[in-house]
Amino acid sequence: MKKKYIICIVLVLLASCKNRSIIPKNDFISILTDIYLSRAYFSSEGIYNARWNDTIPYNHHIVARHGYRWEQFDSTVSWYCSRPKKYQDVYETVMVNLNELDKLISQELDPPTELWTGNSAFYLPAESEHDSIAASVLLKGVGSYVISAKIRVYPHDMSLDPRIEMYLWRADTTDYGVRDTLFIVPLRKDGLLYEYRMERTLYPGNEFTHLRGNWLHCSRNDTILQRRAEIKDISVYHIPKRF
């Protein structure tokens, strides 16, 4: 309770009694949350002075960034501090916001993880005359997935439409499972080495469990494919993110 009254005193110091328009409650809460965060930052940097009574220019910037004038904020503070019950509700919401932000800051994200555990390089026809290079990776949940490889397809490679094909997959009652195509990337067929890089973010609610597909997929024809290609530096990284 002591902390609440201290904050209210600070707000009163900010306020004047002029009759100006009142900022909507949710926006006012957001502004106060940002002001307390900025005060904590300046204090941690050793540049906050209590004698400023929260009138440092950055507070004016915060109010303006939310689309309001300082006079509106000033009037809103005065209005709430003359209505203790309504102020109590605002105060509690601001404290909840600050506590939730503090929890997020204190939680350390895992570092990026390499998910590809297969061979990092393949050379065709050494491995296979006919088959594509399959990919299957267990997903780690939400976050960004960065998929990359360096690929060279020679002009005398006999495959049709060489390409990278990747899709999200999860099991169902069929052997095929549920699929959602991520990438279909055509491969150049000129004998030069190119780096191909793809990225996709998975959000909460995603139910897929695997990344699957083929690094050197192609269309079939009536002759032996006689693949002439190479792929190296295969990588599938997972970068955790908060949502």
Q: Where are the domains of the chain?
A: 2-106, 113-239
Helices (H), the chain: 2-14, 25-44, 57-65, 70-81, 84-106
Question: Which candidate, 159, 160, 153, 142, places its Cα nearest to that of 201?
Answer: 142
In which element (H, E) is residue 123 found? strand 122-124
Here the tokens at position 212 are 């699957």
- 113-239: CATH topology: Jelly Rolls (2.60.120)
Average pLDDT, the chain: 81
Q: Is 241 left (phi over 0), alpha (psi -120 to 50) or beta?
A: beta
pLDDT at 25 exceeding the cut of 60: yes
pLDDT at 191 exceeding the cut of 90: yes
Distance CA 103, CA 101 (A): 5
Residue with tokens 């106060």: 32
pLDDT at 142 exceeding the cut of 70: yes
Helix (H, G, I), strand (E, B) or coil at 184: strand
Helix (H, G, I), strand (E, B) or coil at 150: strand
- In degrees, rounded to 5, the angle at the alpha carbon of residue 215 between the alpha carbons of residues 211 and 216 is 150
Phi, psi dihedrals of residue 37, rounded to the nearest 5°:
-65, -40
pLDDT at 8 exceeding the cut of 80: no
Here the tokens at position 45 are 């940097």
Digit-coded pLDDT (tens) for 72-116:
988 998 898 888 888 899 989 988 888 887 776 656 667 889 999
Residue 75's DSSP bridge partners are none
